[in-house]
Structure 1
Amino acid sequence: YGHSFVHVSRLDYAVKWEGPLYDVKGEPPDETQRVIGRYVGELIEDGATLQLGIGAIPDAALQTLTDRRDLGIHSEMFSDGVIDLVERGVITGARKTRDRGKMVACFLMGSRRLMDFIDDNPMVKMYPVTYTNDPQIVRQFDHFVSVNSALQVDLTGQVCAESIGTLQYSGVGGQMDFMRGAALAPHGRAILALSATARAPKTSAGTPPSKYALTPVDGQISRIVPTLMPGAAVTTTRAHVQYVVTEYGTALLLGLSLAERARSLINIAAPQFREQLERAAYDLHLFS
């Protein structure tokens, strides 16, 4: 439904395929991801319209929303996590400003259960990315909640979600479209959710270490960092970041000074890295 139909006259060649559909079976959230999901869920109110990506953290957040009412979906994509909430009557789209009663996406990725759910389902409408990701469309939803992820967040709030230093890790995706659209919505919330640590790499992948790089602890590195890695892409600028969530809590950066931002982010970093982060904040003249 939506704009997902292509007239046969527009096809040069067609190949009939009767094999199984390609599907992706996600892993269940671990304890860290479930904690992050709970913090994210606390920021989602009845009637909100959601944009969620793929992965364990969005699914963990959805699992906390069973007591909400009339949630909606307007997203670049969605996955299996929404199905249970539709079946429970939680996701209805009844309060959406646009496409009321419909779940809107540009593409889908998930298991065979998801494919069966969307098959000939008039509740699901597929639209081009020029519609789903348009910030001027997104801002029209009164309570729009955007949930995205990041690889690193520095102490001023700059976000890298696409590279590890100079090594390209993923595409830009729709993060900035939805972060901006949510920020412009009357009661919107733009959320970045990530685990506070990651496994320390064995090599630097050709990227020289930053002057302010933190020392790994027990084979882990902090994803809250003094500065982004040299050459890292800034996916979302610090001026557009609102909420940052880790398993250690939620930091609301909107309207804060650089010093207040640094303090808020240190408070949600892994405890074993907070002393290093505080020293770096002084070295960077964020603290006086």
Structure 2
Amino acid sequence: MDFEREYQQKLSTAEQAAKVIKCGDWVDYGWAVTTPEKIDTALAKRVGELHDVKLRGGVLNKIPAAIEADPTGEHISWHSWHCSGVERKLIEDGRGFYVPMRYSELPRYYHKVDCKPNVAIMQVAPMDKHGYFNLGPSASHLHTCAEVADVIIVEVNHNIPRCLGGSGADLHISMVDMIVEGDNPALFEPPLPKSSEIDLKVAQYIVNEIKSGSCLQLGIGAMPSAVGSAIAQSDLKDLGVHTEIYVDSFVEIAEAGKITGKYKNLNKFRQTYAFAMGSKKLYDFLDNNPGCLSASVDYTNDIANIAAQDNFVSINSAVDIDLFGQVNSESSGKRHISGAGGQLDFVMGAYLSKGGKSFICCSSTVKDKNGEVRSRFLPTLKEGSIVTATRANIHYLVTEYGIVNLKGLSTWAKCEKIISVAHPDFRDELIRGAEELKIWRRSNKLK
């Protein structure tokens, strides 16, 4: 088969690609750093001609031009599988909506739920000699999306790293309807998180619980980043990686010689991930790296696959936690923040792993927009708060005041442990709240 000839036959302009989109269409818009750019600009010029077009994607680093061109949201709306700060603003403005889900289920949505897109558009790496476009650092669910879409359009970007993987990491030209050669923008690089003294203290508690040969999952943010740095500086060795998002912390740990993957039960010697976002150093590290494996999220986040890795360590953060042990990682009361992502999958999978440990970590307090310090620990979650990990699933809880194992405890014992790692200034208030909830006994002593 002459793939170059087929390439030329399918080669289109961004304007031709944008004209495919019709009123009422669902349009999947790539994922994270592979959200389309040139076609998006062309679609922005058509906004006035369209109505009820629904763009869908997630982890945006900027407002798409097509959404920006419709400030009232009368013609085009945004629908997010997982929200960044950009998407949070769109939701607050009434121009965007979140789709609640466990991230591991997303590929199944395209086959089992009415989520079939009319058009799927995504940035990809250039076609190789075998006719494959690599999905770069965004394998996630994009291959499955392309399997069911009516029209598939790829936007080629020479700056996208070729991320080696298994099933779901590449898209063959035979599946593609239109090819647009993009302007080759550099991939988005989020600011590297700056760790505070609290982050570093929490990180040390966690690192003390990790043993050599463990398999790691890290979330995004200052606290998981602090954990990564602490691991890189530790005496740990022969670590493995099986994670949802691949972040700069893993590069730091790998360059410190801590990652071999020799004790992994699945994908031995390879670092497995669903998508990646970080610095240019991270993208360069992933490019054509046979030590890393890009895979579909229904593989990386599958609870059975997580549990199959011995000594699995899952590290995630929280917004609020109540005295029953309910973890909110998605909202501030009624105000939407992010999404469920894979937190529950990794919390459950790590606990089921032989020797596995799941950590929920956070600072004990936070400053609100008025500068007032408030406790992250509440008698009950605020009205409108979303329960991301249930009280039955939480394993280890970590703050700057210590680390506690909450598994197998009664309501009062769990409550006591939670209060023991809350900020001392708020403990009496929490005890009063616990008494009202009838999960506190006067004989209890905080240790």
Regarding TM over 0.5, the answer is yes
Please tell me whether the aligned partners of residues 41 and 62 of structure 1 are also in contact (alpha carbons under 8 angstroms).
no
Cα distance per residue 1:172-193 (max 9 Å; x no partner): 1000111111111111111101
Amino acid paired to 1:143:
N
Give 1:160's aligned residue: 328
Unmatched tracts of structure 1, length 5 or more: 203-217
Amino acid paired to 2:279:
S
Aligned residue for 2:216, secondary structure, equals strand
Give 2:165's aligned residue: 2
Cα drift, residue 10 of structure 1: 2.2
Larger radius of gyration: 2
Give 1:144's aligned residue: 312
Cα drift, residue 78 of structure 1: 1.8
Query: 2 CA distance for matches of 1:284 and 1:200?
Result: 26
Give 2:427's aligned residue: 274
Aligned residue for 1:238, secondary structure, equals coil
Aligned residue for 1:59, secondary structure, equals helix
Query: 2 CA distance for matches of 1:9 and 1:223?
Result: 52
Query: 2 CA distance for matches of 1:37 and 1:76?
Result: 20
Cα drift, residue 14 of structure 1: 2.8
TM-score by length of 1: 0.91
Please show how residues 70-85 of structure 1 align to structure 2 within 5 Å.
70-85=238-253
Give 2:292's aligned residue: 124
Aligned to 2:206, which of 23, 27, 40? 40
Aligned residue for 1:6, secondary structure, equals strand
Paired residues, what number? 273
Query: 1 CA distance for matches of 2:317 and 2:398?
Result: 9
Query: 1 CA distance for matches of 2:386 and 2:306?
Result: 25
Q: Tell whether 2:415 aligns with 1:262.
A: yes
Cα distance per residue 1:221-242 (max 9 Å; x no partner): 1001110001211111100111
Give 1:231's aligned residue: 384
Query: 1 CA distance for matches of 2:276 and 2:314?
Result: 17
Q: Percent identity?
A: 38
Query: 1 CA distance for matches of 2:218 and 2:179?
Result: 34
Amino acid paired to 1:84:
E
Please show how residues 174-253 of structure 1 align to structure 2 within 5 Å.
174-202=342-370, 219-253=372-406
Query: 1 CA distance for matches of 2:440 and 2:383?
Result: 22
Please show how residues 57-76 of structure 1 align to structure 2 within 5 Å.
57-65=223-231, 66-76=234-244
Aligned residue for 1:239, secondary structure, equals coil
Cα distance per residue 1:83-108 (max 9 Å; x no partner): 12212220111110110000000000
Query: 2 CA distance for matches of 1:186 and 1:276?
Result: 38
Please tell me whether the aligned partners of residues 228 and 252 of structure 2 are also in contact (alpha carbons under 8 angstroms).
no
Amino acid paired to 2:165:
G
Give 1:15's aligned residue: 181
Unmatched tracts of structure 2, length 5 or more: 1-163, 442-447
TM-score by length of 2: 0.60
Cα distance per residue 1:135-168 (max 9 Å; x no partner): 0111101100111111111111111110111221
Aligned residue for 1:240, secondary structure, equals coil
Cα drift, residue 20 of structure 1: 1.9
Amino acid paired to 1:36:
V
Aligned residue for 1:179, secondary structure, equals helix
Aligned residue for 1:96, secondary structure, equals coil
Aligned residue for 1:64, secondary structure, equals helix
Please tell me whether the aligned partners of residues 77 and 106 of structure 1 are also in contact (alpha carbons under 8 angstroms).
yes
Q: Tell whether 2:437 aligns with 1:284.
A: yes
Give 1:211's aligned residue: none
Cα drift, residue 13 of structure 1: 2.5
Give 2:275's aligned residue: 107
